[in-house]
Structure 1
Amino acid sequence: MDVLNRRVAAIVAHPDDETLGCGGTLHRFARLGADCRVVLALRRADRRIGDGWPALVGQFRAACARLGATPELLPDALPDITADRDIEALHEAILPAVEWSDIVLTHAPGDSHQAHRAVSRAVEIATRPFRRRRTVALFEVASSTDQAWSNGFAPNFHVLLDAGDVAAKLDAIALYAGEQAPGRRPADVEVLLRHRGCQVGAEHAEAFMLARHFA
C-alpha cells in the first residue's frame, strides 16, 4: 500500500489501544510519508482509573510521539463504560477524523470490550461507501480481541515491520507502566509480532482485517 502523503487516522477507545493494535504500522506509515493521527474517541471511566486519567493521557501523548503520530483527544468525549448506549453521538464525535482521513485503522467488531465494539460500529457507520469511501483496516488488541466468546478475527492484510518499527512499538507500550499485564507487556507484544510475521514469511508483522478498500 502506497502511503506517501496519505492521511491515516487510528480511531481508538483507550490509551494504549493504538500501540497494541497498530503501533508498528503507524510508525512505518509515518516514516514512509503518511500524516498519521491517533484519535482517542472515549475517556476511561471505570473505577480502576480513579484520578489517574491525566497521567494516562500523558502516556498516550508520549506513545504517539514515539510512533510518529499526532495525538487527538475529542472534547467532551463519552465515557467508555456507556459508549455502546449512544453510538450516534460517538459517530458524530469521530466523523471529523473520518472526513479528514484517507485510511482508517480501528478496532475489530468482535472484541470482548464493549467500548472497542462501540468505536468499531461508529467507524462502520461513518464509512458507509454511499456516504464516503475510505480504506478501513481493523486491528487486534491483546486481551480483548482474543478473549471474546467467538474469536472472529481473521486477518487478510499484513503490514511487515522492520527493526525500527518493532522498537518504536515496544518503546511505546513500555510507556504505559500502569497498563502492563500478561499478554500486553513488551515481551508479549513482540511474541505476537513474530507470530504474525511467521504467518506471512517475515520476521515481524501486524495483522488486520481489511474491511473496506477502494482503488
Structure 2
Amino acid sequence: MGDLSYMGKILVIAPHPDDEILGCGGTIARLAKAGAEVVVAIVTRGMAPQFSDEFVAAIRAEAKASHDMVGIAETRYLDLPAAALETVPATKLNGTLAKLVQDVRPDTIFVPFVGDIHTDHQLTFLAAMVAARPRDTHAPQRIYAYETLSETNWYAPGITPAFVPNVFIDISETLELKLDAFRCFESQVKQFPDERSIEAIRALATMRGASMYLGAAEAFMLIRQIDRL
C-alpha cells in the first residue's frame, strides 16, 4: 500500500462509540500499522435515565477492545449528552471541541458528515469546523468527512446535503481488521440485512473499492486542505 505519512497526527471525532470504526476503521488500522498516532474523541455518552451507568460501562469496554484491535493510540471521552446535543449551548459544544483540537494539535481530522440524519452527527460536524478554523499555523491541514452506515444515507437526498465522496482510501489489507473491530461492539452488531451488519459493512467497502478499481476502500469528502510551505 502507498504511504499515508503526509496525514501526520490524526484526530478522529466520533459522535458516538462505533461511528469511528464504521466510518474509517480500515483507514485507522492502516495508519496505525504505518506508525501514525491516531487519537479518537467520542463526543457523547449515554445519560440517565435513558442509559444506565452499566450500559455506558459496557459500551466503553467494547470500544476499548475495538480501539486496541485497530491500534488507536488514545481515546478521549468528552461526555456530552448522547441523542441530546441540541440541548447543549453552542458555546459549550464549540468550546469543548476547540479545546480538544488545541490539546491534540492534529494535522488531519476525520469528522462525521453534516448531512447525516442524526442531529448529534450534524452538530458534531459544525462544532468541529468551528474548532478547526485556520486562525494560526497549528490549524489542521486536512479535514475529511466520513460516511456512517444508517446515518449518512438515511436523510433526504436532493433536499439535504448529499455525501459525494472525492477521496478513496484503499483498505484491502485492513478490511478484515475493521470488521473484527466492529464485532467488538457486540451491543451494536445487527443481523443482515440491517445496515449495521458485518455483511453490509463489507458490501459498502467492496462497492467503494470497486468504484476505484480497488479490492476495498473507505470513501470521504475532502472538506479542506491547506498546503503550507
TM-score normalized by the length of structure 2: 0.86
Aligned residue number for residue 32 of structure 2: 30
Aligned-pair Cα RMSD in Å: 1.9
1:23 to partner: Cα distance: 0.3
Aligned residue number for residue 169 of structure 2: 159
Aligned amino acid, residue 92 of structure 1: G
- Within 5 Å, give how 1:99-118 maps onto structure 2: 99=102, 100-118=105-123
Instruction: Check conservation: 2:172, 2:214, Cα contact below 8 A.
Output: no
Q: Distance in 2 between matches of 1:212 and 1:91?
A: 19
Aligned amino acid, residue 19 of structure 1: I
> What's the secondary structure of 2:77's corresponding residue?
strand
Q: Deviations for 1:10-48, whole angstroms, at most 9, x for unmatched residues?
A: 011111101000100000111122100111111124876
Task: Choose the corresponding residue for 1:174, options 177, 183, 196.
Answer: 183
Instruction: Check conservation: 2:108, 2:140, Cα contact below 8 A.
Output: no
Q: Deviations for 1:31-84, whole angstroms, at most 9, x for unmatched residues?
A: 122100111111124876444110001111111111111342335x21022213
Aligned residue number for residue 202 of structure 2: 190
User: Is the alpha carbon distance of 1:137 and 1:5 closer, same or farther for their aligned partners in structure 2, counting shifts above 3 Å?
Assistant: closer
The structure 1 segments of at least 4 consecutive aligned residues displaced by more than 6 Å after TM superposition are none
Gaps of 5+ in 2: none
> What's the secondary structure of 2:84's corresponding residue?
helix
Instruction: Check conservation: 2:109, 2:140, Cα contact below 8 A.
Output: no
User: Is the alpha carbon distance of 1:7 and 1:149 closer, same or farther for their aligned partners in structure 2, counting shifts above 3 Å?
Assistant: same
Q: Distance in 2 between matches of 1:154 and 1:13?
A: 21
Aligned amino acid, residue 57 of structure 1: R
Between Structure 1 and Structure 2, which shows a larger proportion of helix residues? 1
Task: Choose the corresponding residue for 1:143, options 150, 155, 169.
Answer: 150
Task: Choose the corresponding residue for 1:123, options 105, 128, 141.
Answer: 128
Instruction: Check conservation: 1:174, 1:185, Cα contact below 8 A.
Output: no
Q: Distance in 1 between matches of 2:11 and 2:76?
A: 12
Aligned residue number for residue 58 of structure 1: 61
1:147 to partner: Cα distance: 0.3
Aligned residue number for residue 43 of structure 2: 41
Q: Distance in 2 between matches of 1:144 and 1:46?
A: 24
Q: Count residues in correspondence.
A: 213
Aligned amino acid, residue 116 of structure 1: H
> Which deviates further from its counterpart, 29-38 or 79-88?
79-88
Instruction: Check conservation: 2:39, 2:76, Cα contact below 8 A.
Output: no
Aligned residue number for residue 78 of structure 1: 80
User: Is the alpha carbon distance of 1:46 and 1:173 closer, same or farther for their aligned partners in structure 2, counting shifts above 3 Å?
Assistant: farther
> Which deviates further from its counterpart, 81-90 or 55-64?
81-90
> What's the secondary structure of 1:72's corresponding residue?
strand
Q: Distance in 2 between matches of 1:144 and 1:180?
A: 15
